[in-house]
Chain A
Amino acid sequence: MLAKYFPNAVTMKGDFIQATWETLYMTFFTAVVAGIIGMAIGIGLIVTQPGGILENRVVYNILDKLVNLCRSIPFVILLAVIAPLTRLIVETAIGTTAAIVPLVIGSAPFYARQIQNALAEVDRGVIEAAESVGSGPIAIIFRVYLREGLPDIIRSSVLTLISLIDLTAMAGAIGGGGLGNLAINVGYSRFESDVTVGAMLIILVIVFAIQLIGDFWARKVDHA
């Protein structure tokens, strides 16, 4: 049955496993690095914004402009533009590991904005209540913002992760490997469209799994 509908794909089991692995590898490491950077910038934006607990116009404006700048560059162009930087950091501009550098730069600012929006939903009154019982900025960030904002943080993380998988496919197409590479450079270029469809299906499964787990988790921690 499988052989009938996926004549080429069935002969490439090893390639599929390899590509799936590469996609997960890129996604995972980018998520960790971009997650930390994006989270830090998002928190930075929220606490330094006008009326924030550590209001600071200069820092806020720098972070805000930086995020806007990075988000304005189309990812395909970003890939090419930062190739020298990539070479500097990982000593090569092609391959799966090299793809992580542009992926981080492409997704961290997006995540920062998402985190900022999620934390902006935390009631100002709750922050004030925490201040009134003597909480300092660190306690407010970790015990109030991140705790109260958790359901929204999870939802934004899911959104970012899914858009990140989208980006890995694009990075794959220009030499990063992964399912995107398989779908375009093998499936599309060789007219083996069953390979393209197969790669797409695997990506769909990964995306649905992330969405499902994220939704479940967000609902579990949401008591509002």
Chain B
Amino acid sequence: MTNEAIIQLKDIDVTFQNKGQTVTAVKNVSLTVNRGDIYGVVGYSGAGKSTLVRVINRLQRPTAGTVEVSGQNILDLSSKELRTARTKIGMIFQHFNLMTSRTIADNVDYPLKGSKLSRAERKQKVAHLLDLVGLSEKAEDYPAQLSGGQKQRVAIARALANDPEILISDEATSALDPKTTSSILELLKRLNKELGLTVVLITHEMEAVKEICNKVAVMDAGEIIERGDLVTIFSKPDKPLTQDFINTATQINQAMEKIYKQAGTLGLDDHHILVQLQYVGATADAPLITELYKRYSVVSNILYGNVEILQDTPLGNLIVVMAGEPDQLNEAWTYCEDAGINVTQLDPNSEVA
């Protein structure tokens, strides 16, 4: 991964006029995506994600701001120059948007019709692209005969036809089942590695981001409220919305809810505290629990444990009941924090975010 910026959005505003009212879809957003990034943009529907990424290939002209892609100022281009620039920015969609009247091969060939390739070269290219997405044997089928995951693969092949440097994925996995979603995400990751493709991934599912992105931005009401590299955002989310997304993705919310429901059976008092331990990196959890017992005679009862591997970095979450003398518990707490573990006391009477 280099640090060369390939997409630079600066101070982007997008407003729409709707029945005399001005609706602001994107508010003062700046975003830099580096070459080779898989950049996730997360937010609930209506947050302005799709509008924001449509600015990148000028499917949406921003009301204010500047857009630079591969060193070109996209907003200054003539229609003809814009069309050429767009061939280098692939895009895939939630509903695939394939042409039902064309075969799979013909759909993939469509973007090549304007290119200088000969008929034979185009045929070869289409075959290569279909092979890349694993759909060679479906070349002569029509989209209606394919499953959702297969359609999205065709859409990816089409988006890659003109060898783009950037692929924009607009909720591309949102209409797919979890297993198909994983396989599409795997494919995107492979393309990122093998072709050096920069990917901008819009989604409302943090799970998708967790699986393949190296950077993430969280959008709410047209603004980016938090951004950073994946591990940092996952280990130290700042904004409540970000925490909400992450807790949904790691399923820690569900665990907490279950634990809170049976809080009575935990027998919590000054000698028993319910805590969440969160650690990043190689800090192994088993030695920690033994250490706590050996040093402070604190017994930890693990109620829930989860380890996510993000960008080859483990991110662990434990919910434990620590039992011991109050002083000892305090010392154990300090010990954990010194070891770089994030400790939060949980209150079973509170609401789960």
A and B: interacting chains: yes
Select one of B87, B100, B155 contacting A224, CB under 8 A. Answer: B100
Please choose the segment from A38-46, A107-115, A130-138, A203-211 that sits at the chain B interface, where 4 or more of its residues have CB less than 8 A away: A130-138
Contact indicator B59/A144 (Cβ below 8 Å): no
User: Which residues on A sit within 8 Å (CB–CB) of B335?
Assistant: none
Q: How far is the CA of A209 from the CA of B72 in the complex (A)?
A: 57
User: Which residues on A sit within 8 Å (CB–CB) of B114?
Assistant: 134-135, 139
- CB of A174 to closest CB in B, whole Å: 42
Q: How far is the CA of A221 from the CA of B110 in the complex (A)?
A: 18
User: Which residues on A sit within 8 Å (CB–CB) of B122?
Assistant: none
Select one of B86, B98, B99, B100 contacting A131, CB under 8 A. Answer: B86
Contact indicator B111/A133 (Cβ below 8 Å): yes
Please choose the segment from B88-96, B237-245, B278-286, B340-348 that sits at the chain A interface, where 4 or more of its residues have CB less than 8 A away: B88-96
Interface presence of B2 (CB below 8 A): no
Q: How far is the CA of A128 from the CA of B102 in the complex (A)?
A: 16
User: Which residues on B sit within 8 Å (CB–CB) of A134?
Assistant: 83-87, 111, 114, 162
Q: How far is the CA of A123 from the CA of B99 in the complex (A)?
A: 9
Interface presence of A150 (CB below 8 A): yes
Digitize A134-161: 1 where CB-to-B-CB distance is under 8 Å, 0 elsewhere.
1110010001100110110000000000
User: Which residues on A sit within 8 Å (CB–CB) of B84?
Assistant: 134
Question: What is the size category of the interface that chain A forms with chain B?
Answer: 20 to 34
Contact indicator A126/B99 (Cβ below 8 Å): yes
User: Which residues on B sit within 8 Å (CB–CB) of A148?
Assistant: 99-101
Contact indicator A132/B91 (Cβ below 8 Å): yes
Contact indicator B59/A126 (Cβ below 8 Å): no
Contact indicator A133/B101 (Cβ below 8 Å): no
Contact indicator B97/A135 (Cβ below 8 Å): no
Interface presence of A57 (CB below 8 A): no
Contact indicator B159/A133 (Cβ below 8 Å): yes
- Which A112-128 residues have a C-beta within 8 angstroms of B? 123, 125-126, 128
- CB of B304 to closest CB in A, whole Å: 42
Contact indicator B144/A224 (Cβ below 8 Å): yes
Interface presence of B203 (CB below 8 A): no
Contact indicator A223/B144 (Cβ below 8 Å): yes
Interface presence of B161 (CB below 8 A): yes
- CB of B210 to closest CB in A, whole Å: 27
Contact indicator A125/B79 (Cβ below 8 Å): no
Interface presence of B181 (CB below 8 A): no
Most chain A Cβ neighbours within 10 Å, of B84, B99, B159, B161: B99
- Smallest CB gap from A151: residue in B: B101
Q: How far is the CA of A177 from the CA of B95 in the complex (A)?
A: 53
How many pairs, one residue from A and one from B, have CB atoms within 8 Å of each other in the complex? Answer: 74
User: Which residues on B sit within 8 Å (CB–CB) of A125?
Assistant: 93, 95, 97
Contact indicator A223/B89 (Cβ below 8 Å): no
- Which B150-184 residues have a C-beta within 8 angstroms of A? 155, 158-159, 161-162
**Interface residue SS majority, chain A:** helix
Contact indicator A131/B59 (Cβ below 8 Å): yes
- Smallest CB gap from A146: residue in B: B101
Interface presence of B128 (CB below 8 A): no
Q: How far is the CA of A150 from the CA of B100 in the complex (A)?
A: 11
Interface presence of A129 (CB below 8 A): yes
Interface presence of B113 (CB below 8 A): yes
Q: How far is the CA of A224 from the CA of B155 in the complex (A)?
A: 16
Contact indicator A223/B97 (Cβ below 8 Å): no
Select one of A126, A133, A150, A222 contacting B87, CB under 8 A. Answer: A133
Contact indicator B100/A135 (Cβ below 8 Å): no
User: Which residues on A sit within 8 Å (CB–CB) of B161?
Assistant: 133
**Contact A147:B86 (CB < 8 A) given known A125-B93, A132-B91, A136-B79:** no
Q: How far is the CA of A131 from the CA of B168 in the complex (A)?
A: 14
- Smallest CB gap from B86: residue in A: A134
Contact indicator A147/B101 (Cβ below 8 Å): yes
User: Which residues on B sit within 8 Å (CB–CB) of A132?
Assistant: 57, 59, 86, 89-91, 159
Interface presence of B142 (CB below 8 A): yes
- Smallest CB gap from B79: residue in A: A136
- Smallest CB gap from A144: residue in B: B99
Select one of B95, B100, B162 contacting A133, CB under 8 A. Answer: B162
**Contact A129:B93 (CB < 8 A) given known A134-B84, A144-B99:** yes
Contact indicator B79/A147 (Cβ below 8 Å): no
User: Which residues on A sit within 8 Å (CB–CB) of B91?
Assistant: 129, 132-133
- Which A28-55 residues have a C-beta within 8 angstroms of B? none
- CB of B190 to closest CB in A, whole Å: 22
Most chain A Cβ neighbours within 10 Å, of B95, B101, B111, B113: B101
- CB of A135 to closest CB in B, whole Å: 7
Q: A123-B97, A133-B86, A223-B144 are in contact. List 13 more A-B contacts (CB 8 A).
A: A126-B99, A129-B91, A129-B155, A131-B86, A132-B59, A132-B90, A132-B91, A134-B114, A134-B162, A135-B83, A136-B80, A147-B99, A223-B101
B positions within 8 Å CB-CB of A: 57, 59, 79-80, 83-87, 89-91, 93, 95, 97-102, 110-111, 113-114, 142-144, 155, 158-159, 161-162
Q: Mind listing 20 A-B residue pairs with CB under 8 Å?
A: A123-B95, A123-B97, A125-B93, A126-B99, A128-B97, A129-B91, A129-B98, A129-B155, A129-B158, A131-B59, A133-B110, A134-B85, A134-B111, A135-B111, A136-B83, A139-B113, A139-B114, A144-B99, A148-B101, A150-B101
Q: Which 9 A-B pairs have the closest CB atoms?
A: A133-B111, A129-B97, A125-B97, A223-B142, A132-B91, A134-B86, A134-B83, A224-B100, A134-B87
